[in-house]
Amino acid sequence: MTDTTHPSREKLVSDLKLVVSDAEELLKLTAGQAGDKIGDVRSRLTDRLSDAKDRIADAEAAVLDKTKKAAHATDDYVHAHPWESVGVAAGVAFLLGLLAGRR
């Protein structure tokens, strides 16, 4: 049930949102610039930003879906095995207490 890519996906989505935001700001700042090359670059950048936004939305949806599935599976397990869940929680709390007490 452990998925080591989950935090890195969330960070990737967050970083991509920042890049998209910065690129959009750059497009706004260069809106007054003239020239064929700048117009072509702006057009390509606008298209790529649109594609990136779509991929970010898809990645966010995938992360959200995995999170919901993991939460549902955990809930099902706890309902199916309540005493085992309590025992594991107590054991983890005990170990955390020991570690905290040593500091």
pLDDT digits (tens, 9 = 90+) for 9-30: 777 777 778 888 888 887 777 7
82-101 vs 36-80: helix crossing angle, rounded to 10: 110
What does the block give as tokens for 45? Answer: 């950048």
> Residue 44: its pLDDT value, please?
81
Of 59, 80, 76, nearest in space to 10 by CA: 59
Mean pLDDT confidence for 53-59: 85
What does the block give as tokens for 21? Answer: 């935001």
Calpha distance 69→21 (Å, rounded): 30
Taking a C-beta distance cutoff of 8 angstroms, is the pair 7, 50 a contact?
no
Mean pLDDT confidence for 53-62: 86
Full DSSP string of the chain: ---THHHHHHHHHHHHHHHHHHHHHHHHHTTT--SHHHHHHHHHHHHHHHHHHHHHHHHHHHHHHHHHHHHHHHHHHHHH-HHHHHHHHHHHHHHHHHHHHT-
> Residue 5: its pLDDT value, please?
55
pTM score of the predicted model: 0.53
